[in-house]
């Protein structure tokens, strides 16, 4: 009876907040949520990060039940420039030559409007090199750098871009068609960069991040990670 009564009280309140544009969090209860710019939550060897880093950002709330079940409600204006990259991060901390396997799986539900990409952001431990794997994208968004051709690698077909943001080298792999679920052999990707292209040496792989690089989501959009995980040996 208490649970049912609580639902009857909260439903009109949520409707009123939505009408006023204040409903910045999902209607369902989550284990953790944050609307803070740099809100973080450690869980199961991963770290969830709200990460609203771009200029001209609007409001954004990240919520999570676990590192593999989380999402974001974001209302960023319809202007250019990346506003945020909410993500879940796993730290690997091994040289490429010491990694036998490194892979990840993902399953997401993403909006059909806005401007964003769903991507892995993989860094070496010194943050000299950044590898982005875009598994889907919507709206007027594009990678940094110049096209280097196409490759089938790690279980996907990509168009590859190479560039620099002034602080680090950036290698972007843009999936040739959108995907909302699958797995990626990250070890195959870093081996290709190191051994086939020679763009870096035997660096230490640090962060493996997965999330949503959001440019615009005017009016408020939901991004949901239904499952996600990183495994390595």
116, 140 contact by CB (below 8 A): no
Pair of tokens at residue 198: 């020679």
Pair of tokens at residue 92: 């690997």
**Residues in the chain where the model's pLDDT stays below 70:** 1-28
φ/ψ (deg, to 5) at 105: -125, 155
Domain ranges of the chain: 1-27, 31-232
106, 135 contact by CB (below 8 A): yes
Predicted confidence at residue 28, as pLDDT, reads 59
**Can you give the pTM of this predicted structure?**
0.88
Predicted confidence at residue 29, as pLDDT, reads 84
Q: Express each pLDDT in 142-174 by its tens digit.
A: 999 999 999 999 999 999 999 999 999 999 999
Architecture per CATH, domain 31-232, reads as: Sandwich (2.60)
């Amino acid at each position: 009876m208490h649970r049912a009564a609580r639902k009857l009280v909260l439903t009109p309140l949520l409707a009123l907040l939505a009408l006023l544009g204040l409903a910045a969090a999902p209607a369902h209860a989550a284990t953790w949520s944050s609307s803070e710019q740099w809100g973080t939550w450690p869980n199961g060897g991963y770290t969830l990060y709200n990460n609203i880093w771009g200029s001209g950002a609007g409001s954004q709330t990240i919520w999570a039940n676990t590192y593999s079940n989380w999402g974001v409600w974001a209302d960023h204006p319809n202007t250019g420039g990346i506003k945020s990259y909410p993500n879940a991060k796993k730290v690997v901390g091994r040289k490429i030559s010491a990694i036998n396997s490194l892979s990840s799986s993902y399953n997401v539900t993403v909006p059909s409007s806005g401007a964003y990409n769903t991507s892995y952001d993989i860094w070496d431990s010194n943050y000299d090199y950044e590898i982005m794997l875009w598994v889907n994208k919507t709206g007027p968004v594009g990678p940094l750098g110049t096209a280097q051709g196409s490759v089938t690698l790690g279980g996907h077909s990509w168009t590859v871009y190479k560039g620099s943001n002034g602080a680090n080298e950036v290698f972007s792999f843009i999936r040739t068609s959108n995907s909302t679920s699958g797995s990626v052999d990250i070890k195959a990707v870093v081996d290709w960069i190191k051994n086939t292209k020679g763009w870096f040496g035997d660096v230490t792989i640090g962060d493996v991040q997965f999330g949503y690089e959001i440019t615009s989501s005017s009016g408020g959009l939901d991004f949901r990670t239904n499952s996600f995980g990183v495994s390595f040996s």
